[in-house]
Structure 1
Amino acid sequence: MNLLKDGVALGLVVRTELSRKLTVDGITQAYPVYKIRLDHLYYNDQNDRIATWISQYKSQHDGQSPNTSKGDMYNDIIEDFIVKSNPAAIVATQNNIELVDQREPGVVLVDGRIIDGNRRYTCLRRLSNKNDRFKYFEAVILERNIESSAKQIKMLELSIQHGEESKIDYNPIDRLVGIFNDIIDTKLLSVSEYAKSTSEQESDVRKRMEITGLMIEFLDFINAPKQFHIARDLQIGFPLEELAKLLKKCKSEDEIEDLKICVFTNILMKTSNDLGRFVRKIKDIVTSDYMGEFIEEQKEIAYRVVENLPPKGSVNEKLIREVIRANDEVGQALEQSMEKSLTKAKKTETRNRPIQLIEKATTLLEDIDMIILHKFNDSELQRVKRQLSKLEKVIDEIRANLDE
């Protein structure tokens, strides 16, 4: 059904006196707002947040996605996902709409696909079950379809969801899934187009692409390729962000791959309640002489974990939490390896601290511009001489301790 033609003619769509400003194809203008019957709208399966949940549905239904043509059945499936993603937000929004009606118009395509307003639409569907007053959704209707205007529609959606002042606080994994789908997998958008839509720097988008790549590698590592809901459920966004920084300190590609295996295994086994902080601690080991020893120990344990992983298609959140992570022996072995290497690295750092300070002091003194010294007045010269005398005493004391 074309909402602006058939919908209006049948009385299912009614124009209101409201309008909403949107920037479409680089042009900002006010678009009229319509009241649209709820049963002639449907959720956008290409929305970043919804795409994460659809990955879970596919894993439970032999790789099949929910069918958008099945009307209420399709909407019921997605509604359940949206409610579960943030129940508190749904309750707050639903209570507000019930009290003062829908205040912020959404955005839909002419075929009924919702581009902005999934949460509001969800709340109205729930409220309409007990009161017909809520059976309409107020929204701008764009005369576009996903087949011919996919790029423009996606850029508009990103602009609304991430680029405006009232942007939704997306789960980090949802954003990574969006980057994977839009830039890496389908190549629907370029980095510059994505950055423009979300009002970000291109460098920030590229950093998130690195983290997205790590998410894909992690899911492959645990035999759960593209099961994004697992990444979201395990809350691996921040640990992967820290890992991306850590990998830049590696000296070779082999070291990078080895370190990924170590960190992926610890994330899977959840050897710390704060995995982001745990990954940051590894930095002290990476920059020490004990990196090789740490890597070998961790890899040996990692291989034991990988060998016992179920085949692809069998890994899910419950199995990870109740079976894989229940192996206390492996978890303790990983923790002990980490603590041992970290203790050695810290001892070495403490022992080398005097050398590091002397090297730093020498570098600072060597950077003094001698020409400037000739321009000092008497007071400034006396101050320099006093500090040099103190410095000589400190050096003499250090030498005396070295001769003991």
Structure 2
Amino acid sequence: MTTDLRALVANGDIAFTGAKPKLPTTLPDVTDSMLEVYRIPLKYLYYNDENGRIATQIKREYGDITPHSDETGADYNDKIAQFIEEDNPTALKKTKKSIKDKSQQVYGYVLQDGRIIDGNRRFTALRQLVDELGTTQYFEAVILPFTYDAKAQRAQIKRLELAIQMGVEDKLQYDPVDLSVDAYNTIIIDELMTVNDYAKESNLKVKDVEDRLATVELIHDFLVFINAPDNAYYLIKDVKLYNPLYELVKKLQKYFQNAGPKYSQTKETAFALLSKMISTGGDTVREVRDYVNNVMDTANNDEYNNQVEDIVEHLRDKLEVEPIKTAADFRKRLDSATPELRELNETYVTTVNRQNRGKNVDNFIGDVKETLNTLQDMHRGGGLTGNLHFNNFSRDQIEEIRDMLVKINLVSSDLIGVYEDEL
């Protein structure tokens, strides 16, 4: 059940405060005569489940949920109010004290059915004051003549929401996942705005919006890779993976202009390495940059992809045991894939070391000298170094070392010829 707030205004059930604000953006269907602030009883209002800040949180905790006002039942608003409080308890406490001491100083915006477009924290504070003081509270807000039923009206609502939330300096900043998903839903799914429109209303650069859209597409692919629902954006927030994926997508776009087999293989390799980074912890953004610089952006990329192809498949087999729904599920599955992640990392380290050897002449000569020193130590020690004895080795390990020495002998003979030709 929804309530028509404008009908209540016409009946005298909702009072006009006398304030007439100015919109932060231009809406074609809104005239100055509509911009009046009213004192609205809290029971008629409800949080906007389409709000970019809280939509991901709702999906994580409750899946699909039907929004409604306290007039129908307080369960919905109570659940969202908990999100608001947990997100920034200090800001909520400050807002509540301000309203208690000086009344509501900043008006909000609501739709005619009671959906709150701006003012979640103020509404939350007012609901808490009702419980704490036992007094009747009112939310002062502009009542816009819109609902979410019509697509054209949703577009205007989104423009207003972005202008308010993103165009005011002291507003709480969007979580990057929430902002990117909001842009994706607005532009790609609902087709309410163009990229340029969204960039203008949200005070972002067009390239930034485009990168965010591409990041959401990559998030979809990553979630499918780990066997999670492709819209489980909360998982990306919980494992703090947005910034690495944002960094990665820009590099993938740079090095692979057209999607193809090499792009797909590199993408899956990168997803496997991201999983390893989550498992071991650390600065994932820096590690992604290192991977790009040392492998993806080198001649070794194809070779590395081929070397780890089977490892990546075995990792996916572990991830596909059952669907992943939470960050805890994901970490538990990664624990079960420790052998694969260790082998993946060992191959990565070997590739990076090989790549780094050729970065400058001094390092290269130093590596050759170190190899010579190791072989000389072995020669002086009768085949071993330090305190090792042959009875420390298995027969297979002795055979492995012998075979490597044979290969070293053959390769070094060929290399002597290469350097003779350069003299």
Query: Which residue is equivalent to 1:340?
Result: 350
1:298 CA drift (Å): 3.7
SS at 2:170's partner residue? coil
1:275 CA drift (Å): 1.0
Query: 1:173·1:232 contact (CA, 8 Å) conserved in 2?
Result: yes
SS at 1:102's partner residue? coil
- Using the alignment, how far apart are the partners of 1:281 and 1:317 within structure 2? 25
Query: 1:222·1:309 contact (CA, 8 Å) conserved in 2?
Result: yes
Query: Which residue is equivalent to 1:18?
Result: 19
Q: Aligned to 2:248, which of 227, 243, 246?
A: 243
- Using the alignment, how far apart are the partners of 1:73 and 1:286 within structure 2? 50
Q: Aligned to 1:191, which of 191, 195, 200?
A: 195
Query: Which residue is equivalent to 1:122?
Result: 124
Segment drifting more, 92-101 vs 254-263: 92-101
Query: 2:315·2:341 contact (CA, 8 Å) conserved in 1?
Result: no
Say if 2:262 is the partner of 1:255: yes
Segment drifting more, 185-194 vs 309-318: 309-318
1:133 CA drift (Å): 4.3
The 5 A counterparts of 1:289-308 are: 289-308=299-318
Query: 1:177·1:212 contact (CA, 8 Å) conserved in 2?
Result: yes
- Using the alignment, how far apart are the partners of 2:76 and 2:83 within structure 1? 11
- Using the alignment, how far apart are the partners of 1:135 and 1:8 within structure 2? 21
1:114 CA drift (Å): 0.2
Q: Give the 3 Å change call, closer, same or farther, for CA 92–230 of structure 1 in structure 2.
A: farther
1:122 CA drift (Å): 1.6
1:93 CA drift (Å): 3.3
| Matched AA of 2:85 | V
Query: 1:42·1:68 contact (CA, 8 Å) conserved in 2?
Result: yes
- Using the alignment, how far apart are the partners of 2:95 and 2:339 within structure 1? 46
SS at 2:65's partner residue? coil
- Using the alignment, how far apart are the partners of 1:7 and 1:273 within structure 2? 56
Q: Aligned to 1:265, which of 272, 287, 303?
A: 272
Say if 2:68 is the partner of 1:68: yes
| Matched AA of 1:259 | T
Query: Which residue is equivalent to 1:84?
Result: 86
Identity score, percent: 32
Say if 2:209 is the partner of 1:208: no
1:100 CA drift (Å): 3.7
| Matched AA of 1:339 | V
Query: 1:179·1:212 contact (CA, 8 Å) conserved in 2?
Result: no
- Using the alignment, how far apart are the partners of 2:262 and 2:339 within structure 1? 26
Query: Which residue is equivalent to 2:225?
Result: 221
**Per-residue CA shift, 1:320-365, capped at 9, x if unaligned?**
23443464434433333332222222222224999xxxxxxxxxxx
Question: Structure 2: which 5+ residue stretches go unaligned?
Answer: 365-420
Q: Give the 3 Å change call, closer, same or farther, for CA 316–66 of structure 1 in structure 2.
A: farther
- Using the alignment, how far apart are the partners of 2:322 and 2:7 within structure 1? 47
- Using the alignment, how far apart are the partners of 1:3 and 1:313 within structure 2? 44
Q: Give the 3 Å change call, closer, same or farther, for CA 331–41 of structure 1 in structure 2.
A: same
1:37 CA drift (Å): 1.3
- Using the alignment, how far apart are the partners of 1:322 and 1:201 within structure 2? 39
Q: Give the 3 Å change call, closer, same or farther, for CA 314–67 of structure 1 in structure 2.
A: farther
Query: Which residue is equivalent to 2:398?
Result: none
1:151 CA drift (Å): 1.0
RMSD: 2.9
Q: Aligned to 1:317, which of 311, 327, 343?
A: 327
Q: Give the 3 Å change call, closer, same or farther, for CA 339–280 of structure 1 in structure 2.
A: same
- Using the alignment, how far apart are the partners of 1:93 and 1:326 within structure 2? 46
Q: Give the 3 Å change call, closer, same or farther, for CA 190–135 of structure 1 in structure 2.
A: same
Say if 2:280 is the partner of 1:279: no
- Using the alignment, how far apart are the partners of 1:180 and 1:186 within structure 2? 9
Q: Aligned to 1:104, which of 103, 106, 113?
A: 106
Q: Give the 3 Å change call, closer, same or farther, for CA 184–195 of structure 1 in structure 2.
A: same
Query: Which residue is equivalent to 2:401?
Result: none
SS at 2:325's partner residue? coil
Query: Which residue is equivalent to 2:7?
Result: 5
Query: Which residue is equivalent to 1:170?
Result: 174
Query: 1:246·1:280 contact (CA, 8 Å) conserved in 2?
Result: no
TM-score (norm 2): 0.75
Query: 1:16·1:34 contact (CA, 8 Å) conserved in 2?
Result: yes
Query: 1:21·1:28 contact (CA, 8 Å) conserved in 2?
Result: no
Question: Structure 1: which 5+ residue stretches go unaligned?
Answer: 355-401
Say if 2:52 is the partner of 1:52: no
Q: Aligned to 1:141, which of 140, 143, 163?
A: 143
Q: Give the 3 Å change call, closer, same or farther, for CA 15–28 of structure 1 in structure 2.
A: closer
1:52 CA drift (Å): 0.8
SS at 2:199's partner residue? helix
Q: What is the aligned residue count?
A: 352
**Per-residue CA shift, 1:229-287, capped at 9, x if unaligned?**
11221222210111012213435632221222122223334144211111111122223
Query: Which residue is equivalent to 2:359?
Result: 349
SS at 1:49's partner residue? coil
Q: Give the 3 Å change call, closer, same or farther, for CA 273–86 of structure 1 in structure 2.
A: farther
Query: 1:163·1:197 contact (CA, 8 Å) conserved in 2?
Result: yes
Query: 2:211·2:250 contact (CA, 8 Å) conserved in 1?
Result: no
1:314 CA drift (Å): 4.4
Query: Which residue is equivalent to 1:181?
Result: 185
